[in-house]
């Protein structure tokens, strides 16, 4: 058990929330998302993002269409389904509550 491990664990679920949010703002493909996530210092590697997108698609939260590219192979452009929007709403609420709860605990100072 080490700190790096906990840091990895902390991302779980949150990444899914962030990805849904990014897609909710307009059509994007995987590299777009990687760029934005990296810019926000939420470092993610391909091997994490692609399986996540596949999961979300299989769960009916995402759709995609192939779009030809001028430089390289065609790309999958993702959009949110209605179901995806509803899930995003719930996750937003969950995340807000989680942040609030954590704040409640960590803002208390030593009593002893």
Name the site residues for DNA (rule: CB under 7 A): 1, 5-6, 8-9, 11-16, 29-31, 43-48, 50-55, 69-76
Nearer to a second copy (CB atom), residue 7 or residue 71 = 7
What is the sign of the dihedral through the CA atoms of 38, 44, 47 and 49? negative
Q: Which does 109 bind (CB under 5 to 8 A by kind): DNA, a second copy, none?
A: a second copy
CB atoms within 10 A of CB 108: 8
Which residues ranging from 18 to 47 are in contact with a second copy (CB under 8 A)? Answer: 18, 21-22, 24-27, 36-37, 39-42
| DSSP character string of 31-58 | HHHHHHHHHTT----HHHHHHHHHHHHH
Helix (H, G, I), strand (E, B) or coil at 10: helix
Name the token pair of 30: 């995987």
Query: Which residue in 31, 69, 85, 101 binds a second copy (CB under 8 A)?
Result: 101
At 70 the three-state DSSP class reads coil
Q: How far is the CB of 32 from DNA (least distance, A)?
A: 9
| Residue 54 binds which entry of a second copy, DNA, none, CB below 5-8 Å type-dependent | DNA
């Amino acid at each position: 058990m080490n700190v790096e491990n906990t840091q990895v664990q902390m991302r779980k679920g949150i990444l899914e929330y962030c990805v849904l949010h990014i897609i909710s703002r307009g059509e994007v493909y995987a590299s777009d998302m990687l760029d934005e996530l990296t810019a926000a210092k939420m470092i993610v590697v391909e091997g994490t993002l692609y399986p996540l997108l596949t999961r979300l698609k299989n769960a009916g939260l995402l759709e995609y269409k192939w779009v030809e590219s001028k430089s390289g192979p065609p790309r999958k452009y993702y959009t949110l389904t209605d179901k995806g929007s509803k899930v995003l709403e719930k996750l937003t609420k969950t995340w807000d509550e989680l942040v609030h709860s954590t704040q409640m605990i960590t803002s208390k100072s030593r009593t002893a």
